Structure 1
Amino acid sequence: MPYLYSFVLSFVLMYLSMFLGIRLGLLDKPKGMLKPHEKPIPFTGGLGIILSFIFTAFLFNRELFIYVLPLSILWAIGFIDDLRETPPRLRLLAELIIGFGFSIFFGNSVITSLFLAFVFAAIINAFNMIDGMDGLCGGISLIVAIALSLIPDLAYFSWLIPIISAFLIFNIAPARMFLGDGGSYLLGGFFGIAFIQAFHSGFTVSVLGILWLPLLDLTLGFMRRILNGKSPFEGDRDHFYDKLKKLYIKNTRAIMITSMALASIYAFPSLFVSWWFLLVYLLAVSVIQVIVLKSLKIT
């Protein structure tokens, strides 16, 4: 029953965040290839998610409060970037500092924390990168949250399920509200924290597998841009979901559902197989994905 209350509360807060975005002019306006939506859409989904998380922590699970400060900072960084684009290196530095600090908080050494800080930043940017289509980042995040909640030390992720579900009501095509960078940074931060905790408790490879789809897209995107002589932080339209668009044309819901299914193919087997088999499985499925989608290159 508390999860139902959390969903209802989150739905109300999402609606208020959307209304606030419209009233204050916090709108993502159409702009070329990277923003092909037809009309301005409020980018205040991240605000709804962080408010929902804070109220859920206060009303239902006080143990969640330890995550509120770093996640609020990540949301603020992304929200500022939504308002006024900030240098990628500055955002990356902030992500590294937060990841390092959280790792130290969990008792890791300085060397280990430096490594985990880079993984933390990579996860945030991976989820920011898949936020390119209605319902996509939210849908994949829902799959990830469900899978993570099945790991004993990460059971608190079950509280993200009603929150993300409430957001998706407003974000499934045609979207009435976007995550914004604030929202994608926030979701990436949740899952970056999960990786740090998993590293501390011995579920590292399982969490890596659960997060594999966005991390694979990030890696391929960076390699593609570097090979083409572009900045790895520069946006493009050659992600896995862009290639799926060639199959489904403008059926964004079909692309979202297919992407969620693809995320599930990586995520749920990661819970049940040994680490060495999982690594072989991830590599094999990744190769199949790349080969199948290569014929759908659109840029």
Structure 2
Amino acid sequence: MTFLLITLAAAVITFVASRIVLRFALKHGIHPPVRERDVHSRPTPRLGGVAMCIGVLGAFGIAALVPEFAGIWAEPTRILTLLGGAVAICVIGVLDDLFDLDWMLKLGAQILVATGVALFGVQIVSLPIAGLTVPSSTMAISLTVLIIVLAMNAVNFIDGLDGLVAGTTIIGSTAFFGYIWMISQNFAQQNAYFSLASLITAVIVGVCLGFLPTNWHPARMFMGDGGALMLGLLTAASAIAVTGQIDLGTMGGRSQILPAFIPVLLPLAILLLPLTDFVLAVVRRVVNGNSPFAADRKHLHHRLLDMGHSHLGAVLIFYAWTTVVSVGCLLFLLWPWWIVLGIMLVGFLVCAMLTAAPVGRRVWRTFLRVMRERRAARGKMEPTRIDTRATTRADTLGDRR
């Protein structure tokens, strides 16, 4: 109930803030022109990140009043640094949406924010694989900065369709919260449930739920770079906060091989599609001699639209892939691996069929058209043969007479 309260608070605050920000943007004409790579046809405000940031700050402020979260606020520097980083990256994203900042400047600002979070907020200290520890603080900071920057850009890269980022983040973060909840049951302390990772994840889900009605197709407002970068930062921070902070030996019961990898696999599963799109985009642009951050219209969601999917259909396909991967990784903690693997294979097959459906429909229509043309051609030839036979028979009878 406590986490539901936090999620609900984040959703309500974000929803109300979204309405206020939307009215402000429309009143003052704060909406950039439609770009060539955009899939929408009318100018739409991109200040959703501002409303989402307000939701994050409001939810954390309410959490500070909840006694169960007192342990988290015992180290206020961590939370204040994380919130400061969220505000800073949101401001950078909004400025980029309004003034189209140089990509080097954006990347430098992202690294600076990630470094601050790594130094005073959350930091990888160990990996949940055989108790492997990070050998030095410099490596820990570098690895943390790399993960945060990668997550921010990955989420930002797929923010091209209405409701895409918000919906996939809700699905993946809900699965990750389920993972945190399950491993917390193995600890005797009551406050084990109320960790920084679980709080961040609950806030992320609430903020996305509150913003989704405004962002659903046809969207009245986009989250923009400000919202997407902030979600990437918070998602990475929640994964880093929980990774390496648990004792897998207490989980018992099953083989510890798969549970040991879940803290690594599940965050990757949540960001599987964004990371895939990010890697493909960087490779594609570098091979073509362009900047890795140069915008184009060849992202995964663009390709789905070009295949023939509708706007909503492409979004739902992303939802389906995210659900199969995220929930599949989570089920490894509950069921035998061979059952989960079978479920995931079936899920992958269904998702692949849905993804390729427009191509299949075109092939089927082409096949039917070819068959109709053949039947039509055959039908034109039949009367000619009949007339020829009739004429020949008539000639024969005439000769006999």
Determine helix, strand or coil for the equivalent of 1:42: coil
1:197 and 2:212 matched? no
1:121-175 CA-partner distances (Å, limit 9, x unpaired): 1111111110111111111121122122223253221222222112110111111
1:177 and 2:237 matched? no
1:20 and 2:24 matched? yes
Q: 211, 228, 232: which one pairs with 2:271?
A: 211
- Deviating above 3 A after TM superposition, structure 1's stretches of 4 or more consecutive aligned residues are 3-6, 60-66, 246-249
- Report the Cα distance in structure 2 between the residues aligned to 1:8 and 1:231, rounded to whole angstroms: 40
Out of 36-45 and 264-273, give the one that drifted further.
264-273
Q: 329, 339, 356: which one pairs with 1:270?
A: 329
1:89 and 2:133 matched? no
Name which one, 1 or 2, has greater alpha-carbon Rg. Answer: 2
State the AA in 2 paired with 1:186: M
Q: 1:9 to 1:53 in 2, by over 3 A?
A: same
1:138 and 2:166 matched? yes
1:161 and 2:176 matched? no
Superposition RMSD in Å: 2.8
Aligned to 2:49: 46
Out of 194-203 and 163-172, give the one that drifted further.
194-203
Determine helix, strand or coil for the equivalent of 1:37: coil
1:253-286 CA-partner distances (Å, limit 9, x unpaired): 2211111111112222222338xx89xx89xx7x
1:73-105 CA-partner distances (Å, limit 9, x unpaired): 110111111121222122212222222232233
Q: 1:86 to 1:271 in 2, by over 3 A?
A: same
CA apart distance, 1:35 = 2.0
1:103 and 2:118 matched? yes
Aligned to 2:291: 231
Determine helix, strand or coil for the equivalent of 1:233: coil
- Report the Cα distance in structure 1 between the residues aligned to 2:158 and 2:329, rounded to whole angstroms: 21
1:183-214 CA-partner distances (Å, limit 9, x unpaired): 11111111121233244436233222222121
- Report the Cα distance in structure 1 between the residues aligned to 2:270 and 2:164, rounded to whole angstroms: 16
The within-5 A match list for 1:286-297 is none
Aligned to 2:398: none
1:10 and 2:14 matched? yes
Q: 66, 90, 95: which one pairs with 1:75?
A: 90
Out of 263-272 and 171-180, give the one that drifted further.
263-272
1:229-254 CA-partner distances (Å, limit 9, x unpaired): 222111222222222213444x2122
User: Is the CA contact 1:46–1:182 (under 8 Å) kept in the aligned structure 2?
Assistant: yes
User: Is the CA contact 2:169–2:270 (under 8 Å) kept in the aligned structure 1?
Assistant: no
- Report the Cα distance in structure 1 between the residues aligned to 2:239 and 2:8, rounded to whole angstroms: 27
- Report the Cα distance in structure 2 between the residues aligned to 1:61 and 1:130, rounded to whole angstroms: 33
CA apart distance, 1:119 = 1.8
User: Is the CA contact 1:29–1:35 (under 8 Å) kept in the aligned structure 2?
Assistant: no
User: Is the CA contact 1:95–1:117 (under 8 Å) kept in the aligned structure 2?
Assistant: no
User: Is the CA contact 1:225–1:232 (under 8 Å) kept in the aligned structure 2?
Assistant: yes
1:187 and 2:187 matched? no
State the AA in 1 paired with 2:98: L
Q: TM-score, normalised by structure 1?
A: 0.85
1:118 and 2:146 matched? yes
User: Is the CA contact 2:49–2:228 (under 8 Å) kept in the aligned structure 1?
Assistant: yes
Out of 152-161 and 119-128, give the one that drifted further.
152-161
Q: 1:165 to 1:134 in 2, by over 3 A?
A: same
